Every structure is written in C-alpha cells, then in structure tokens.
Amino acid sequence: ALTIGIVGLPNVGKSTLFNALTKNDVLAANYPFATIEPNVGVVSLPDPRLTTLAGIFGSERILPATVSFVDIAGIVRGASEGEGLGNQFLANIREADAIAQVVRGFSDDDVVHVDGAVNPKNDLETINAELMLADLQTLEKAIPRLEKEVKTKKADPAVLEAAGAAKDALERGVLLSQAGLDLAPIKELGLMTAKPYIYVFNVDEAVLTDAARLAELEALVAPARAVFLDAKIESELIGLDPEDAAELLASTGQTESGIDQLARIGFDTLGLQTYLTAGPKESRAWTIGKGWKAPQAAGVIHTDFEKGFIKAEVISFDDLVALGSVAEARAKGKARLEGKDYVMQDGDVVEFRFNN
Ligand code: GDP
C-alpha cells in the first residue's frame, strides 16, 4: 500500500498526532528523537456513502478504504549532513510515497521549541531546506555517473537532462513537486521533494475557527494543501463515543475531525480514488489509482477478475440512491454495461462480469 510519511521538527506534535492516527497510546515524549523506529498507522478513509449503501443492500458490514501513515523520526537542522538521526531519517522518507509535514502553530510555554520560538513559516522552511539539500546531494552524486553512462550509451540522455533541470530548480529554492518538470526519467533517484506534499498545521483550538489566520497559513504553502487540526483535541476525540466526539467537534466549530480531513486529503494527494461494491454481505470501497480502467480496477478485487474481465455493470452512487435499488436502476436504464476501456469514476457502484 502507498504510505504517507509524517515529518516535522521535534516537539511540533507528530507523536501526539500519530498516536491519534493509530489509536495507540504510545507515550508522546516532550523531547527530540523520541520516535526512533518508523511506525505505520492505518486509518479509515471516511466515506458516508458506504453507510447509505449498507442501508440499501442490508449489508452486514462496511469496509472503508484505508490510508497508511508512517511516523518518521524528527528532523533537525543539519539532517542532510547526517546530524542527529539524519541518515536514517532520510532513508525512511525516501520510502514514503507522499510527505505530510506537521508544523507547530500552537503556543504553549511548557513545550520547548527547538528554535526558541513558534514560527510556522521558519519551521517549514527549515524542513524543506533540509530536504532540498539532501536532494541536491543525491543529484550531485548522480550527475557525474550519468554523464559517464550517457557517453558510453548506458543511460538515456533524457535522464541526465532531467537530473540537470532538477538540480537547477533546487538551487533556485524550488521544491521539485512544484517545479513543473517531467521527473519520470529520474524516478529511481528517490528524490524527496518530488513527492506529493501536504502540510498539517497543529494549531490552538481558537485558531481552528479563525478564518483570517487559516487563510494566512494556507497562503504560506499554496499550491500544496493544508490541513488544520489541534493534535490535543484529536487525541481526546479518539477516546470518545461517536455522540460525544461529535459534540466536542461541534464545540470547536468543526464538522469533521482533523484525522478524517488528513485521511481524505492524504488519499487524494497520493493520487488515489475508490469505487464501491455493495451486497448483503458487505458494502465496500476499493482503492485504485485515478484514471484506472475497468479491468485494472477489477484486479484489485481478484486477479481472476482482471484476467477474465468481460464487462462492468456500473451505476453511479447518486442514481442508485435516487432510484433505491439495482433493479430500479436497471429498469430506468441507469445501469451501464462498460467495457475494458472504461475509465473508472469516483462514486461508481460496480459489479464485474468475468470468465473463470
Ligand atoms: P513530536 O516531537 O513532534 O513528536 O511532538 P509531540 O507529539 O511529542 O509533542 C510535544 C509536546 O507538545 C508534548 O508535550 C505534547 O503534549 C505537546 N503538544 C502536542 N500537540 C499539542 C497541541 O496541539 N497543543 C498543545 N498545547 N500542546 C501540544
């Protein structure tokens, strides 16, 4: 499964957030390097459509899609030079498919800030500078090798060209994900700033409803996406039953928990989408890539579904809800039989026809 690596300076609330993500009660420690081993936390992708489908089909259970987060040890200034947990840290990020940077926005005199003051703009620039420096080092090592390989025709000149363009962008201080370059030829270099990026601002409760402040923080990171949450509230929410949780959320002016937001935006940032299946046993969301065609999507359920693919019977979720049953959707011509070139759409409710 694709994973999102959680990074950030020490003491910004990563462990607190990660504990809430995993519903584990690991101690959040108030000092740098508290989280040494990378851990994976798997959360559900919120999807109220599944509850609706379960109602229509009388499903016994609901199986949502999931999003995986990896807790990566804290970064410090100088990580790209191998200080602190530098090298291990960088190796762990290289394995993640997207990066969520947690940025401290909360004020609390009892929690030491590594740089002495809470300053979201400085913090995120510190982390990004370290990641850009590490990518530069990777490229500076790779380019002489690639030059030789191009001369001896072992490497495609396009690879060298892409590496040079990436190096230029980094030297100008641009994250590769925002440089507008074709990085496909240098994918195997595992450049970190080429990965999709989300910012998670861990802010005080009062900030969650302060539209002007949120807009300011959003502007800091645009076009990357921002999630705003209060990690302390998130960790309280997981201990509550759904009614109390909804009440606590409402009292903070939110309609959705920060973790749900993070799951949704993270899933989207990874380039993923779902399609739905439903029946008396279960209503279920299946994870596919955006733009996938029907046979490949069928393969997520079972490889036989892909190999023996004949057709997909597709009803859009909205049509199915409006008409109330598959039989009614068929009768009204809303159940489409799609072939192998059909590009799956978000919210498709699907039944595959296949040969064994
Ligand atoms: P990490 O080093 O980034 O993993 O940070 P931690 O999650 O260990 O948090 C560092 C300290 O800040 C802990 O004492 C947390 O209880 C505290 N903390 C985390 N999130 C918040 C928050 O949203 N508000 C406040 N006031 N304190 C927080």
What is the pLDDT at residue 83?
A: 54
Separation of 92 CA from ligand 1 center, angstroms?
A: 22
Mutate to test the pocket of ligand 1, among 11, 208, 235, 254 (most ligand atoms within 8 A of CB): 11
* Residue entry with tokens 């949450």: 229
Closest CA to 179 of 189, 188, 170: 170
Low-confidence ranges of the chain (pLDDT < 50): 24-38, 84-85
Q: Which helix (H) or strand (E) holds 103?
A: strand 98-104
Strands 66-71, 197-202: pairing is: unpaired
Separation of 12 CA from ligand 1 center, angstroms?
A: 6
Binding residues for ATP, by number, are 11-16
What is the pLDDT at residue 79?
A: 57
The CA distance from 78 to 273, in Å, is 37
Mind listing the pLDDT tens digit for each residue in 62-87? 999 988 888 886 555 555 565 544 66
Ligand 1 atom with least separation from CA of 31: 2
Q: Report helix, strand or coil for 242.
A: helix
What is the pLDDT at residue 309?
A: 95
Distance, C-alpha 188 to centroid of its chain: 20
Separation of 287 CA from ligand 1 center, angstroms?
A: 32
Separation of 39 CA from ligand 1 center, angstroms?
A: 18
What is the pLDDT at residue 171?
A: 97
The CA distance from 284 to 307, in Å, is 22
107 lines ligand 1 (CB under 6 A): no
Distance, C-alpha 335 to centroid of its chain: 32
What is the pLDDT at residue 32?
A: 39
Phi, psi torsion values for 316, nearest 5 degrees: -75, 145
Ligand 1 atom with least separation from CA of 110: 14
Phi, psi torsion values for 41, nearest 5 degrees: -120, 130
- Could you give the residue ranges of the DSSP H alpha helices within the chain? 14-22, 48-57, 86-95, 120-151, 157-171, 211-221, 231-237, 242-251, 258-269, 294-299, 303-307, 317-323, 326-331
Distance, C-alpha 77 to centroid of its chain: 25
Global ipTM:
0.96
Separation of 77 CA from ligand 1 center, angstroms?
A: 19
What is the pLDDT at residue 30?
A: 31
What is the pLDDT at residue 37?
A: 45
* Residue entry with tokens 């989408």: 273
What is the pLDDT at residue 86?
A: 60
What is the pLDDT at residue 26?
A: 30
13 lines ligand 1 (CB under 6 A): yes
19 lines ligand 1 (CB under 6 A): no
- Residue 18 has, within 13 A of its CA and on its CB side, a CA count of 31
User: For residues 28 and 245, is the Cβ–Cβ distance under 8 A?
Assistant: no
User: For residues 245 and 256, is the Cβ–Cβ distance under 8 A?
Assistant: no
Q: Which tokens is 313 given?
A: 């019977």
What is the pLDDT at residue 38?
A: 47
What is the pLDDT at residue 115?
A: 67
Ligand 1 atom with least separation from CA of 9: 3
User: For residues 92 and 73, is the Cβ–Cβ distance under 8 A?
Assistant: yes
Q: What is the largest CA-CA distance in the chain?
A: 67
Among 3.40.50.2000, 3.40.50.12140, 3.40.50.720, 3.10.20.30, what is the CATH number of 291-354? 3.10.20.30
Separation of 30 CA from ligand 1 center, angstroms?
A: 7
47 lines ligand 1 (CB under 6 A): no
DSSP state of 293: B
